Each structure stands twice: as structure tokens, then as C-alpha cells.
Amino acid sequence: MRQVILDTETTGLDPNEGHRIVEFGAVEVNKRRLTGNNLHHYVNPGRDSDPEALAVHGLSTEFLSEYPPFEDIAQEIVEFVQGAEVIIHNAPFDVRFLDAELQRCGYQPFEHYCGKITDSLAYAREIHPGRRNSLDVLCERYGISNEHRVLHGALLDAELLADVWLAMTRGQESLIMGFSNDAEEVGEIQVASKGDAQSLPVIRPDAQAIEAHEQYLQGLEKEAGQPPLWRKLFPH
């Protein structure tokens, strides 16, 4: 399924109090690769941002007054996410705002246009329980540079989240490593024959590789707070 990773910036915390979206950013991922097909809009909310929200995104009322209202970009947004798995960090927050904006324009709720909605924050909490899982923390955890992120921006945050999401779900690639280049079309798996397997060379790890593996296991143990499965299966 095609994936779209998106983020929004808003005038405040609650659409029920009249707060609006001021920026929308989304990037497309296909076959675990960023395609470069992005959608980005600043939005005129017709109101001021709360001071706390303004401190986060820095988008002033004067700046936003030069941009279209949400109703002018609504159709472009629903077409961009049509049928895709939409990945959002803390999805309930953004979806509430998108629902409110779309309702004002006479559209269906946001979920109606998506194949599915995935909350990357909920996913991060599952694999990193009891730890902080903000976007900044996840960038640091997965070695993704966010030094250029002085203020929050919807497109920038969507791009960072895409990198984080691909890093968090990297283990899923092992499920398709055995597929041929045409596996997606023909559903076949390339498996070596018994004779081929017997002729494969056996490469023994050197001391440097063994040390690197040990450091990796120590990192896993520190991250999880318990010994990794490898140590249980192959104790020293």
C-alpha cells in the first residue's frame, strides 16, 4: 500500500475552541523509498495563533494572511492521501483538526479518504515502552540529524518522521529479502537448491567482527533493559 507521512501545525490545541490548521505537509513513500512527491501548504486560518503555538511554529498572522484558506486546498489534500496508509505522529491530534477543517468544507471525515491511519507514536511506544518517544527523541535514537529543526514545520517534520518510520520498521525488510526482483509481480521466492547451498563458502568472523557484534548486543541489552534473545539462545 502506498504510504503518506504527514504533519500539521495549528493555531492552538483544540479545534472545538475554534483553532485552525496553519500548515500542512506530507511526503510520499513507495516501496520504502521517499519518492519526492510531496504536498505542502501554508494556510490562512482567519485568526491569530495562541502565543504557545506561535512559539512552536513561528507562523505569524501577517505571514499567513498571504496564503489561501483551508477550503481552497481541501480537495488537493484528500486526493493526495486517497487510498494510502497515512502515518502521523500522535495521529489523534492531527486527525481531529483535519476532520474539523474538512467538515467546514462539506467533506467526509479524514479517515474516509485513507486506506488506513497509523499512529507512529503508538507504534514507538510499543517497541520502546516506558521511554520518551517524541520526534526529536526518536531522531536522536535512530541517528537522524534534526539540527536544522529550530522551529516546528509541517513539511520538515513529515520528512523527519518518514526517516524515523523507515528506521523503526527496518526489521520488516527481512521478510522480503528472499524475494526476487520480480517477486512483487509474480509472488515467487528465490531459494538456493541443496547443491548450491553446499557449495557456498563459509566466512568466519575475525576478532574485529566479533567485537562489533558484542558491542551491538550490549547496546540491545541497554536499550531493552534485559538480555537479547541471542544471549539466551547462545550463552557464553
Where in the sequence numbering do the catalytic residues fall?
152
Tally of CB atoms within 10 A around 72: 13
Cα→Cα distances 38→28, 115, 140, 143, 203, Å: 6, 18, 24, 23, 44
CA distance 173 to 165: 13
CA distance 234 to 236: 6
Q: Look up residue 68 and give its three cell numbers.
A: 489561501
CA distance 81 to 102: 13
Edge-to-edge strands, sheet with 85-88: 33-42, 21-30, 3-10, 85-88, 116-119
Q: Look up residue 49 and give its three cell numbers.
A: 495563533
Q: Are 183 and 189 in contact (CB under 8 A)?
A: yes
